[in-house]
Chains A and B, each alone.
Chain A
């Protein structure tokens, strides 16, 4: 099984610890991971802003880097969704189709490809799950509250097996955090209000650490938390799953 690791652009530059945790976790699970060095971005920032045509170079570069893998794993539901859903703007060669088919968000890959639930992690904290929208409603990494379907959640499947973790129930289980890419800038007032409301839901539920499949949501929430000096931390799910008891 040849697995290529895609580290989203902003994680690469701003949150390397999330990339490191992802790689270490996969290696711990005996996956042979290759990190292609020519990778940049999935093209989403331009495309979601209405400049899909300016993202073609990024798409092509992505395919060039990842065409030879059986699986592509990334610690981002949003980027994986973008590749799956929006890489229809370049010629649909067998390589492109393969890339679109084989890309997986990290939790999805562990639960459904590796078929592992217990990754042997230890995280003695009260954790609140922020269900990032593109992962939830785009990739269907869990059931959403709008639909009448059987309840499931890949991220919770993994968290439930983490030693000493306490999952805290929230008032609104899957409301958007308000990041939304350039939305965070162009609709600043609403974006901030949405984030504040999410944070207060977690605070009221006694959460110590907010986790998610996407660092972009967490970056937005953390920015608000730090500015307001609130007693909350954010950790990407890879960081929790890669945490172990210090011996």
Chain B
């Protein structure tokens, strides 16, 4: 099902849409309050954008610098050209350590690579340890948001899920009880784990270290307890210097949740004694996107989710309506680069209102890229006959003032004289919930000509 159909389904329950919209708008509002406390916020955004643009232009050099420093720190570095390679590498490492139980902190990259089902098919248990991720994992659903994976679930649904899977008592959705139960459940998983997988928020070329940001401390719990730590990162996670964290950590936390800083910004540099640390660096289509001048800035993304929280469409259609690992505006410019046909509906799931571009902490011109994807999609993906023909017709009409005047007259006559019932009948989608404008006897043209004639 495409975005309009899934959005339509989501909108069958209007109260739920209102609730979803308000929950995310609350986060957007918190972000507003928080960024307005930073003098020079716009300068900070410019820095963020500039550092990312510079890094992407020198990505090869920074990646190699990162690799050599990480190796020197005693970390093993692996390169994966695509999702399959990434999954194989992770499995191989786990296999070498005979790891059967894995805890994983939030990583959109491993979602993108569908690592969990792959490992599960090899008989390995993978537990997502971010609370929201654990909730959607229990529900056998993908995350609907990159920062708030279970934002589409209310506490009563979580209550029911926990009763079913964790054996909790019914609690009328008491958040404190549920969090405590989740905590107990996850502690056990942390202690039992043979290996920990984390994502990477920032990989620093000059030191070979990487930073993982979590609010729950779950990355640390996993990495500090398990004998093996595997960190998976996309190539675009590189930043040149440690001092650049001063820009990005501020941008990230405030944009994501309105916090001045994420609760845990954990720096990982080398394995502790007796333990192993691996980094898997993944391309999976990123170089290709880098090679598209109009779309390369999409790789600036630091995965804050602010564009989702601000997007009036996302808030009213839910993350699952995008049918992509990364939903919302940023996903709608990233996904077509991976599979144009499958995701050809996404760049059209927008009014091009531009809120995403203005909220973006690294100034990705998201709405401009949506517009550009549209131009490509109509050329490369088969379009509905009616759409294609009507666009062709309109193009001709607007190129010819005489034809425009005649058609205008016909349209006005129809609007004025046809009964409402016929005008708003089925083929007119506009008329399902909206009245059409009433037909005017005269166009502005007619009025103006008349005025000129009578020399008003």
Contacts and interface: CB of A to CB of B under 8 A. Distances in A.
B contact patch SS: helix
A153 B387 CA distance: 37
A12 B408 contact: yes
Contact of B391 (A12, A14, A51): A51
A137 interface: yes
A20 B444 contact: yes
Interface in A16-36: 16, 19-20, 23, 35
Given A144-B358, A146-B359, A194-B316, A188 B4 contact: yes
B304 interface: no
A133 B4 contact: no
Given A180-B351, A187-B349, A190-B316, A14 B435 contact: no
Interface of A: 7, 9, 11-16, 19-20, 23, 35, 37-41, 43, 45-58, 60-61, 86, 133-134, 137-138, 144-149, 172, 174-176, 178-195, 197, 219-220, 222-224, 226-227
B214 interface: no
B351 A16 contact: no
A50 B374 contact: yes
A151 B449 CA distance: 42
B391 A223 contact: no
B3 A187 contact: yes
Question: Which of A86, A137, A189, A224 has the most chain B CB atoms inside 10 A of its CB?
Answer: A189
B310 interface: yes
A111 to B, nearest CB: 21
Interface residues of B, number: 73
A188 B8 CA distance: 8
Contacts of A144: 355, 358
A135 to B, nearest CB: 11
B225 interface: no
30 contacts: A14-B412, A14-B415, A16-B442, A16-B446, A38-B401, A39-B401, A40-B397, A46-B398, A50-B377, A50-B383, A51-B395, A53-B375, A57-B396, A57-B398, A58-B395, A60-B399, A133-B352, A176-B351, A178-B351, A179-B351, A180-B351, A180-B352, A182-B348, A187-B7, A188-B432, A192-B433, A195-B434, A223-B433, A224-B434, A227-B435
Contacts of B371: 47-48, 86
B440 interface: yes
